[in-house]
Chain A
Amino acid sequence: MALSPPTLPDAHRSASPGLALGDGKPQINPEAAAALESYNTRDTVKIIVRFKAVGNAPIMRQNFYKITASNRFQTVIHFLRKELGWKAGEPLFTYINLAFSPAPDDTVSNLFKSFQTDGHLIVNYSTTAAWG
C-alpha cells in the first residue's frame, strides 16, 4: 500500500508543530494516530520483582513476584503492604537497588529497563527511612 507523504509544514506553521493544522477540525495523520494507539497499549509483560528486606524489616517467605510491567510503583507498594499484612498507617519505605525511592507513578517497566540487575528489579523495603 503506497503511503502519501505527510504534509510539509510551511514556514509559519513550523513554529508550533505538535498542533494539528487545518480548518478547525482535528487532522491527525492516521499513520501517527495508529502509532500512538500501539504505544498506548498496556504492556502486559510480567517483570520479576525481587523484594529484599533492610534492617529490622521482616523477611517474607516468598521474595520473588511477577508483576505486570505497566503497573505503577504505587501498585507495587500496595502489593507489598498486603503481603506483609501492614496497614496504611504503618511506616514502609521502599527503594530501588538501595539507592533511591522512585516516584509513585514511575512504572515497573521503566524502572526495570533503567535499573534491572540479573533480569529482575530489586525493591528494598524497610521500616525506617534509610536512603530517603
Chain B
Amino acid sequence: MASTFSTPASTALFRRLTWEGTVPLEIRVDPNQLPANSDRGLECYYVQAPRVSYLPLLVPEIKRFLLDVVFDVAAAKTIKEEEWWFETDDQVLMKWHWSIGLLYDYHTVTTSMKSAKRPEGQQFPLRLILHLAAPPTDKLLIAPSIEACKQAFMGQLKEADFLRWGNTKRMTGLRGAEQDGIWEGIKDHNFEEYWKIASKITPTTTPARPNSPPPASVSMHSRPSSTDQSGAPDKDGAYNVRSVPIRIYLPNGPVLQDLAPPSLESGTLNTLGKFLSTLLPLLFPANQRALACPLIQGVVCPLDAEIAWLGACMAGADGWVNVMIGIL
C-alpha cells in the first residue's frame, strides 16, 4: 500500500469496501429443539450478513422467518429469543460481542487447519446451529440482548480510542445522541450514518505523506492543501497515534494484542510484516520467507502494508484491525 493510496478518496474507498463486505451464513434450527408441528425441511435460514454487524442484530429477522415459515401458532407463543444461542457444526460457540466478519474469518482460519479440500476463491457459508434453549451463559460472556451488544461495541470503541491517544476525549466528547448514532448506523447498516459520527473519532490519512522522519516533525506547509484548510500538522492523523488498535488471531489459539506504534524508533513506518516479526518471530522470521500469512477482512494483506494505514482504512466498525493468521 504505497503512499499513492493515502488520499482521502482512497481512504473512503477502502472504508466503503470494508463496510460493504458480507459473508454467507446458513442458520439451521437444532432439529431436537424444533417445536412440534414445525415445518421441517424449511428450518434453515440463509443470509448474506454484513461483516460489521452482530448476531444479536440478526435475531429479529431470523425470528420473523421462523414465525412466518416454520413454527405454527402454538409454537410461536413459546419463542423466547433471550434463550437463543448459536454454535458451529463443530461446537464452537458464537460470541455475541464478536462481529459477524470476525466470527466468519476466525472460523475460516481455524477450519483450514483441519481440512485441505477447498476450491479457490469460493466463499463457503458459515454453518450455524441455532439452539432455542439452555444457553451456556458463562461462556457467552454477555447477555444476548441488542443493548448488551451495543455496550460491548461502545466499550471496544473506547478501548481503541484510549489505545490511540492515551485518553478517551474523542469518545466522551461525543454527545449522547451521537454515540447512539454510531450504533444506529450499524443497526441500519448505513455507511453515511455510521461515518458521519465515526469520522470524528477515527483518525484518517493525510493527502500527502512524508516518508521520514516521523510525520509529526515534518512541516506540513509544503503539502498541497486539499481538505485540510488549517495547514496545521495533522496531529490527529493516523500516523500520529500512540498505538494502532490491532489484534492478532491465531488458529485455535490465543488472541494477541500489544502496542503497535505507527512508526518505529528508526523513523521508518511500521508495517504489518515488521509488527508480526516482533510479535510472532517463529512464523514471521525477519528477512526470511514467512510460514504464515495475514488476512484482514477476509483477504490476504501484503506484509508491507503500513499499520497506520490499516488502522485508518481496514478496521472493523468497532475501530479494531483484526488480523487472522493463516498457515501456509
Contacts and interface: CB of A to CB of B under 8 A. Distances in A.
Contact of A22 (B97, B116, B259, B324): B116
Nearest to B179: A132
Contacts of B251: 36
Contacts of A97: 162
Interface residues of A, number: 51
Contacts of B326: 17-19
B295 A18 contact: yes
Nearest to A110: B257
Given A18-B292, A100-B168, A40 B253 contact: yes
B282 A27 contact: no
A99 B167 contact: yes
Contact of B141 (A14, A104, A115): A104
Contact of B162 (A18, A99, A104): A99
Contact of B158 (A22, A36, A100, A114): A100
Nearest to B122: A16
B196 to A, nearest CB: 22
B282 A38 contact: yes
A12 interface: yes
B114 A18 contact: no
Contacts, number: 144
Interface string A49-76: 0000000000000000000001000100
A26 B250 contact: no
Given A22-B116, A39-B253, A29 B328 contact: yes
Given A38-B282, A100-B162, A105-B141, A110 B113 contact: no
A25 interface: yes
Contacts of B121: 15-16
Number of chain B interface residues as a range: 35 or more
B120 A15 contact: yes
Contacts of A33: 327
Interface string B113-147: 11111101100000000000000000001100000
Nearest to A26: B116
A8 B328 CA distance: 9
Given A99-B158, A132-B154, A40 B250 contact: yes
B280 interface: yes
A17 B328 contact: yes
B152 interface: yes
Given A40-B253, A97-B162, 18 more contacts: A16-B121, A17-B300, A17-B326, A18-B112, A18-B325, A19-B118, A20-B112, A25-B116, A31-B282, A32-B327, A36-B252, A36-B327, A39-B253, A39-B280, A103-B141, A110-B257, A110-B258, A114-B259
Interface of B: 95, 97, 108-109, 112-118, 120-121, 141-142, 151-152, 154-156, 158-159, 161-163, 167-168, 172, 243, 247, 250-259, 280, 282-283, 289, 291-293, 295, 300, 324-328
26 contacts: A9-B328, A16-B118, A16-B121, A18-B295, A19-B112, A19-B326, A20-B116, A20-B327, A24-B116, A31-B291, A32-B292, A32-B327, A35-B283, A39-B254, A39-B280, A70-B254, A74-B141, A100-B161, A103-B155, A104-B141, A104-B142, A110-B247, A110-B256, A113-B258, A114-B243, A115-B162
